[in-house]
Amino acid sequence: MTVNKPLPERMRPDDLALFLGQTHLGGRLRSLMQAQRLPSLLFFGPPGCGKSTLALLLAKSTGKNFLRLSAPEAGLQHLRRSLSGVDILVLDELHRFSKAQQDFFLPLVESGELTLLATTTENPSFSVTRQLLSRLHVLRLRPLGRAELLELAKRGAADLQTEMSEELADLLAGVAHGDARTLLNLVEYVAALPADLRELEHIKAALPEVLVRHDKDGDNHYELASALIKSIRGSDVDAALYYLACLLEGGEDPRFICRRLILSASEDIGLADPNALPLAVSCQQAVEFVGMPEGFIPLAETVTYLAMARKSNASYAAYLNAQREIKLNGPRPVPLHLRNPSTQLQKEWGYGKEYKYPHNYPDSWIEQSYLPPELEGRRFYQPRDNGEEPRLSQWWRKLHKIKKTED
């Protein structure tokens, strides 16, 4: 019976007019529903923002045979058996598929034999293969706004035939962090409480426990990832391993963790230990190769190494300094002597004139200007005195007569 379904499933709209949120996509969605042929789409956005709902609404609007599957539950053999006679596949969590599994869809989507409506909470640039991504139209969804969550809370309470005060609805909307599924789970939890326990203060006290139970894929996902990286940055091995275990035991996609570790190796460790980045990249390759659950072994090794490594964010900070200059003043013209004279006319304009080829000089270095004249003498990079960076920057300091400074 419908009443036995969880509230988020019962509240899934069967008409676009009843859908809440994503107003920036309204016109495009209506165009897609009226199109003669529905293209393959990828819905990218945070949990509970309506990705699967929109995919199902579009699939139903075509009148064609469609099937809904979740990537973690569908292997290649299951896919081959299930797709017979199916025109449209609504596939949740595409990012959970391996490269080989994603490649399975290439000829089907390319030929038009199958329309793929996939969802992902992960950045498609990293979680979807370049070949498959080039065949999909990406629709980026946003978290629901406060007003939309309040309206949804009222609808949920009405479905449950329970009254909910404005203050309580506002409280639940606030802690849902834009996630409709979390909000409706909370509404259902509150509605099931005895009347004397539905007071605002009691709900406030109970919320931490409720959120642990209902927010497995919501903000907790990002809070644990943030805690892992900050523990690595702070050189606390035990805390870093603890948060790694929290993520993995909670069902986190190990590829998401690998990407964060690669970024941490570059941002927080950098030139203080140049081996950190290759190790993090090797970890990603090892996890892809051995899979889970054994993938925790290279992940634990890498997290331990990164936490113990010396730290320097000098290269990261240097880029931000250069970025700030460009945002403030725009990119300056490249000096003429650094431009390649590809044509005779460019030679006449002075392209490449007086450029000094460093390898023609002792120690493969000769003093000349590389920055635009307006930026001559600017220093975006400030080396740190940690780990390997003093050794790596020694030659550079000598060439540019830069004194060593304390951090």
Helix (H) and strand (E) counts in the chain: 20, 5
What 3-state class would DSSP assign to 294? coil
Distance CA 372, CA 227 (A): 41
257-293: per-residue pLDDT in tens?
999 999 999 999 998 899 999 999 999 999 988 887 8
pLDDT of residue 218: 46
- DSSP output for 338-377: GS---SHHHHHTTTTTT---GGGSGGG------S-GGGTT
DSSP H or E stretch at residue 335? none
Distance CA 10, CA 326 (A): 51
What the block records as the tokens of 88 is 């449209």
**3: left (phi > 0), else alpha (psi -120 to 50), else beta?**
alpha
* C-alpha distances out from residue 18 to 14, 44, 64, 76, 178, Å: 8, 21, 22, 35, 18
What 3-state class would DSSP assign to 277? helix
Give residue 269's identity as a one-letter amino acid code: I
Distance CA 349, CA 165 (A): 74
Share of the chain above pLDDT 90, in %: 45
* CB atoms near residue 365 (< 10 Å): 13
Q: What is the phi/psi pair of residue 331, to 5°?
A: -70, 135
Distance CA 306, CA 314 (A): 16
What the block records as the tokens of 374 is 């307006």
Distance CA 30, CA 118 (A): 18
Distance CA 337, CA 343 (A): 14
- DSSP output for 78-138: HHHHHTTT-SEEEEE-GGGS-HHHHHTTHHHHHHTS-EEEEEESS-HHHHS-HHHHTTSEE
* Cβ(123)–Cβ(42) below 8 Å: no
* Cβ(384)–Cβ(407) below 8 Å: yes
Q: What is the pTM of this model?
A: 0.55
For the chain, residues with pLDDT lower than 50 are 1, 212-219, 405-407
pLDDT of residue 61: 93
32-87: per-residue pLDDT in tens?
998 889 999 999 998 899 999 999 999 999 999 999 998 878 778 888 888 989 99
